[in-house]
Amino acid sequence: DAGVIQSPRHEVTEMGQEVTLRCKPISGHDYLFWYRQTMMRGLELLIYFNNNVPIDDSGMPEDRFSAKMPNASFSTLKIQPSEPRDSAVYFCASSPGAKAFFGQGTRLTVV
């Protein structure tokens, strides 16, 4: 199993641009999580899905952030418009129940 796959690994974009992060969970995992990691706030849960349905999006910082999971093997996190303070590492994780397995992350830099 290749594990959780995220793309791109690195993204540099200009302020105001739309950014889309992608995630392919481990096959058979019912849960998918999006986390953001910064030095100031550590690991923050943004949103999670169960069986492709968003369960809790209370961690999404603003309306500029949106996430979708159109099927069991794909999810996106979109930021529109992006701002410099969105710069962080974004992790996707999937879980069959309790144990969460993380992808390698996307390092986003908004200039």
How far apart are CB 11 and another protein at their closest, in Å? 16
Stretch that binds another protein, among 11-19, 20-28, 43-51, 73-81 (CB under 8 A): 43-51
Dihedral in degrees, nearest 10, Cα atoms 55, 26, 109, 14: -80
How far apart are CB 15 and another protein at their closest, in Å? 25
* Phi, psi for 85 (deg, rounded to 5): -70, -5
Rounded alpha-carbon distances, angstroms, from residue 27 to 4, 23, 71, 102: 9, 12, 11, 13
Residue 99 tokens, joined? 């144990």
Could you say whether residue 100 binds another protein (CB under 8 A)?
yes
What whole-number distance in Å separates Cα of residue 104 and Cα of residue 111? 22
User: Pattern 51-90, binding to another protein, x per CB under 8 A?
Assistant: ----xx----------------------------------
Stretch that binds another protein, among 17-25, 44-52, 64-72, 80-88 (CB under 8 A): 44-52
